Structure 1
């Protein structure tokens, strides 16, 4: 049974470098037999949070929220690809996640961060860990940190140079960790209904 994994990416910048990492992860996860979909916050262009999906009367949420809520509810796992803005979270990705709450519950989440520099978005990764946990996800212990992004992946999201080789070595463990937690969550849900 293929795992249904949503890969979330949140940069709204004109010259987005992190899309290289998002594309790489989608391709590599699909090559492992997963059913993977990229959810691009810029393409969805949700408004700044005014009303959460659950706050709309049933059947009255905008279609984009209805569609995304169903994708989130039916996914087995999530992967968040995040850049680092001034030591913090990308606002586009944070805004997207904040539109939902219960839809995220009881599934594993993984974090892959990037930056133009050598710290590879590690501070944003750390910030996301607490945020995703608060939103009801189990954040796996493995993370990917990619930087400098331009020296790691080319414009098509293909690994390049020594940094690309390092990413290629790190990815299998990261993907194995996510798969283990995805299978564990599925088995537990089959055994016992979540408590809320």
Structure 2
């Protein structure tokens, strides 16, 4: 069965280098026969959180919110491409994520972090782990961390240099881990309704 994976990216900056990692993941997962879609928070353009999707009466949510809720509910797994801003989460990606809650439940999530520096978004990755767990996702133990993002991937998302080689070497385990949890969660959801 084909895995349906949504990849979320959240930078609003004009010179976005993390999109290279998102593009790499889209391509690499498609090569493994996954059905993949990139959800770019800047392109979706949700306002700062006022009301969650579930707080709108049926049929009254803004169109962008309704479309995204449908995609999230149909997905088997999620990857969050997490840039690090001052030891924390990107506000654009966090804002998009916070618009939903039950839509995320009972599916695995993976974190691919990055930064311009050598710590590779490690602080953001830790912050996202707790957030995604609280929102009802099972966060897999494998992560990808890419430091010096502008040197590890070229403008087309192709790995370059030592950083790119490290990413290419780490990706198969990351993808295998996500695929295993995706299959396990899908089988369990088919076997038994979630407890709440």
TM over 0.5: yes
Q: Find out whether 1:118 has 2:118 as its counterpart.
A: yes
Aligned residues: 196
Match of 2:144 in 1: 144
Match of 2:16 in 1: 16
Match of 1:175 in 2: 175
> In structure 2, what is the Cα distance between the partners aligned to 1:104 and 1:86?
27
TM-score under structure 2 length normalisation: 0.99
Using the TM superposition, give the Cα deviation of residue 191 of structure 1 relative to its aligned residue in structure 2, in angstroms: 1.4
> In structure 2, what is the Cα distance between the partners aligned to 1:189 and 1:57?
27
Match of 1:2 in 2: 2
> In structure 1, what is the Cα distance between the partners aligned to 2:101 and 2:174?
25
Match of 1:81 in 2: 81
Q: Find out whether 1:43 has 2:43 as its counterpart.
A: yes
CA RMSD after TM alignment: 0.5
> In structure 1, what is the Cα distance between the partners aligned to 2:182 and 2:46?
28
> In structure 2, what is the Cα distance between the partners aligned to 1:94 and 1:15?
19
Corresponding residue SS for 1:6: strand
Match of 1:31 in 2: 31
Q: Find out whether 1:129 has 2:125 as its counterpart.
A: no
Using the TM superposition, give the Cα deviation of residue 181 of structure 1 relative to its aligned residue in structure 2, in angstroms: 0.2
Corresponding residue SS for 1:182: helix
> In structure 2, what is the Cα distance between the partners aligned to 1:93 and 1:191?
32
TM-score under structure 1 length normalisation: 0.99
Using the TM superposition, give the Cα deviation of residue 73 of structure 1 relative to its aligned residue in structure 2, in angstroms: 0.3
Using the TM superposition, give the Cα deviation of residue 76 of structure 1 relative to its aligned residue in structure 2, in angstroms: 0.1
> In structure 2, what is the Cα distance between the partners aligned to 1:47 and 1:192?
36
> In structure 1, what is the Cα distance between the partners aligned to 2:103 and 2:161?
39
Corresponding residue SS for 1:142: strand
Match of 2:164 in 1: 164
Superposition misfits of 4+ residues, deviation over 2 angstroms: none
> In structure 1, what is the Cα distance between the partners aligned to 2:37 and 2:75?
10
Using the TM superposition, give the Cα deviation of residue 86 of structure 1 relative to its aligned residue in structure 2, in angstroms: 0.5
